[in-house]
Structure 1
Amino acid sequence: MSTILFHEIVYGPVHSRRLGISLGINLLPYDGKLCSFDCIYCECGFNKDFRTNTHLPERENIKAALEDKLQSLRKENAKLDVITFAGNGEPTLHPKFAEIIEDTLFLRNLYYPTVKISVLSNGMHLTKTKVFDALKKVDEPILKLDSAFDATVRIIDRPNSPQYSVSKQVELYKKFNGNFILQTMFLRGEFEGNKIDNTTEKEVSAWLELVREMNPREVMIYTIDRQTPTKQLKKVPLEDLKKIAERVKQLGIKTNVAG
């Protein structure tokens, strides 16, 4: 079982397949996982296996940890491409997410003004005005959509809200007016008796129609890279990912493929 948890508020820098040299920020408990999805491919494992009673880090501690790290990196003349909010679950769950984004923008402008700020999010909390407004301020709001079909999302991403639907999510994403990055995990395998393959023609065609409708400025296409909590999942070959990416490019949208 995968148990990759981030035990610091600020970690790295690490090399990201999709983002380059990335300094990570974890707004969630250091000893467990907190997420509104329970994806079967999550490197942090299943929610049920990593419950925590630890409090969320305070805004002031997050700001102090980030400033300390940025000061150190600048003294070392270290290269940095991006500051990425990811960590042990969904970063927008933090009640002070919007304020933390403001702090991060301030510190970025002070120490590394050319570095981008990215947020990896499942998009479930965009109904909160402060979350939506904060994500509009960052350079790279990277929002997830792994299938055009509710049934597939229920198997792969397992959102904890019974009200979740792809159509509602698409409407929320459209509010960015194209100024966001869509990320989609493609995978194959089996989980709890369900066959999984969101690379079939039915899946890809329906997904492409939603991509056309949302018109993001970029689409990140990727597959499994690390150990997953279930052993019956398979990577999608790079050539298959490139074929999907080519169809996205035909819509006039930039793609980023990570095999």
Structure 2
Amino acid sequence: MILFDQIIFGPIHSRRLGLSLGVNLLPIDAKICSFNCIYCECGFNTTMHDSPIPTRDQVRETLDAKLHEMVAEGQIPDVITFAGNGEPTLHAEFEGIIDDTIALRNKYCPTAKVSVLSNSTRIHKPHIFAALNKVDNNILKFDSAIDRTMKLMDQPVGKHINVAWFIEHLKKFDGRLIIQTMFLRGEVQGEKLDNTTDEEVEAWIQALEQIRPQQVMMYSLDREAPTQNLQKVSVDELNIIAEKVRAKGFDVSVAG
């Protein structure tokens, strides 16, 4: 499994976003998340860690130095992406960090987009909702519109989380969001898992029609997962599903 050992990491070439400079708001030696996804490249959640959560000042100063260095070298990022070792919106100063990042982006690389990869579990918090409305790419996870499947795939930590809850709160962005969905098959806890079935896809598309995102990002496994017996879904299969989504009028991207 992969843990990001710095506050600012990369830049890396993202399958979906281009040249991406990463921001990790969580400890460098632990995975901390409000989900415990069976496919996460960072592994399962960690209960202990020795390194602290970075402060707002540390994030701002480190990002400032890295952007200054990149611009001096003529290397302009396409995107500054909040990802890292778990759920970035768990940081207590998330909204302030987003404000700082937008200011630094405007100073050094005004063409770059600010993106957040979030699992959507904290979008009901007013300050998180406000922060996500400020970024260019508000990328929110929605892996299944069927509760059993969502819970098998994502293993939410909060008991209040279910599909109806997600849809209700995702709709509040009035389309200013990108839905990101992982498609896979396998066996989890002795149960079969496959969110590519006709039933799954139909329910998922019906949910998208309620949420009305500006874009849908579809992908499958690319790196080692912490759960065995998971299978990647082929690009051809993803494209078949994508065409059904495009037929409903959505902009869809597929990453194999």
* Structure 1 length-normalised TM: 0.97
Instruction: Report the residue type matching 2:162 in the other structure.
Output: S
Asked whether the equivalents of residues 219 and 253 of structure 1 are also in contact (C-alpha less than 8 Å), the reply is yes
Per-residue deviation, 1:229: 0.5
Counterpart check, 1:28 vs 2:26: yes
Matched letter for residue 198 of structure 1:
N
* 3-state secondary structure, aligned to 1:74: helix
Corresponding residue for residue 67 of structure 2: 70
Distance between the aligned counterparts of 1:202 and 1:51, measured in 2? 39
Given that residues 19 and 79 in structure 2 are in contact (C-alpha distance below 8 angstroms), is that contact kept between their aligned partners in structure 1?
Answer: yes
Among 128, 146, 149, the alignment partner of 2:146 is 149
**How do 1:220-239 residues align onto structure 2 when only pairs under 5 Å count?**
220-239=217-236
1:8, 1:26 within 8 Å by CA — same for their partners in 2?
Answer: yes
Check whether the contact 1:187–1:198 (CA below 8 A) recurs between aligned residues: yes
CA distance in 2, matches of 1:164, 1:246: 29
TM-score normalized with structure 2 length: 0.98
Match for 2:86 among 86, 89, 95? 89
The answer to whether residue 153 in structure 2 is matched with residue 164 in structure 1 is: no
Q: Distance in 1 between matches of 2:248 and 2:230?
A: 30
Match among 123, 126, 131 for residue 123 of structure 2:
126
> Which of 36, 47, 51 pairs up with 2:48?
51
Task: State the SS of the aligned residue for 1:31.
Answer: coil
Distance (Å, rounded) in 2 between the aligned partners of 1:189 and 1:79:
40
Could you tell me which amino acid in structure 2 is paired with residue 27 of structure 1? L
Contact 2:35–2:156, Cα closer than 8 Å, also in 1: yes
> Where do 5+ consecutive residues of structure 2 fail to align?
none
Match of residue 19, structure 1, among 6, 17, 20: 17
Matching residue's letter, 2:21: L
Deviation at 1:120, TM superposition (A): 0.2
Contact 1:146 1:153 in 2 (8 A): yes
Deviation of the 1:52 alpha carbon: 1.7
What is the Cα-based RMSD across aligned positions, in Å?
Answer: 0.9
User: Could you tell me whether the CA contact under 8 Å between 1:34 and 1:51 is conserved in 2?
Assistant: no
Q: Deviation string for 1:27-57 (max 9, x for gaps)?
A: 0000011100000000000114x63243210
Secondary structure of the residue aligned to 1:133 is: helix
Q: Does 1:203 align with 2:200?
A: yes
Measure, in 2, the Cα distance between the counterparts of 1:213 and 1:102.
30
4+ long deviations beyond 3 Å: none
Quick check: 2:76–2:109 contact (8 Å CA) kept in 1? no
The separation in 2 between residues aligned to 1:212 and 1:250, in whole angstroms, is: 12
Partner of 1:39: 37
Gaps of 5+ in 1: none
CA distance in 2, matches of 1:64, 1:80: 18
| Paired residues, number | 256
What percentage of aligned pairs have identical amino acids?
Answer: 52
CA shift for structure 1 position 231 = 1.9
Displacement of 1:121: 0.3
Q: Hey, what's the Cα distance between the residues in 2 that align with 1:155 and 1:231?
A: 14
